[in-house]
Amino acid sequence: MIYGFLRRGVFTLLILLAAGSVCPAGEPTELIRKATDRVIAILNDPSLKGPDKTEEKVRKIREAVDKRFAWEEISKRTLARYWKERTPAERAEFIKLFGKLLERTYLDKVKEGYSGEKVLYVDEKVEGRYGRVRVMIVTKQNTEIPVEYRMLKKGDNWLIYDISIEGVSLVNNYRKQFSHILSRSSYSELLERLRAKVEGTETID
């Protein structure tokens, strides 16, 4: 279940382009627009073409993504009730490891260049510290893929804490997987499986 979602996830994260807009753009929308424009620029950078530039390309994309994602909030929500049981050191370790997992899952699948997909910014909703930006990705085959960015305001900045693609939440998918593992084994076992996944030697089913 998770892998079909993740394939759509990398597609969403790496090929969004501000090709059009059908809603007034507020601050959350503009921040997402700027971040995705930055990713597109990296993907299309001639100096980053070729297999010998893949590592540098991934690093630059990760830097761009890091600025827009609330990694601690995402990690907290994926571990759910198990987060409270973790020490500060364990939380820091999990955030780092989970970030590497997402990097491997998404960024290692970076393809050369941009293939012409478009996105329409449908609407934006802000309620206090929480915001939602809905977009519609239109593929070259005119397939429409609805995506919702869920955001949290930290200080003066809006950060993404979840992405829903065709109604399927990234956080909920990982939460179900992690809860399933933790209900049958230890937290240490979960970390070992995450490390194995990051190293490419195991899946997390």
Residue 59 lies in a domain: yes
Q: What is the pLDDT along the chain (205 residues), one digit of tens a residue?
A: 333 444 444 444 544 444 444 444 578 988 888 887 888 788 888 998 888 888 888 888 888 888 888 999 999 999 999 999 999 999 999 999 998 888 777 665 555 455 667 778 889 999 999 999 998 888 778 888 888 999 999 888 899 999 888 888 999 999 999 999 999 999 999 999 999 988 876 656 5
Residue 95 lies in a domain: yes
Residue 205 lies in a domain: no
- State pTM to two decimals: 0.80
Residue 204 lies in a domain: no
| CATH number of the domain where residue 27 is located | 3.10.450.710
Structural domains counted in the chain: 1
Residue 176 lies in a domain: yes
- Domain around 112: 2-199
Residue 177 lies in a domain: yes
Helix extents (H) in the chain: 2-15, 27-43, 54-66, 71-79, 88-106, 170-184, 187-199
Residue 63 lies in a domain: yes
Residue 80 lies in a domain: yes
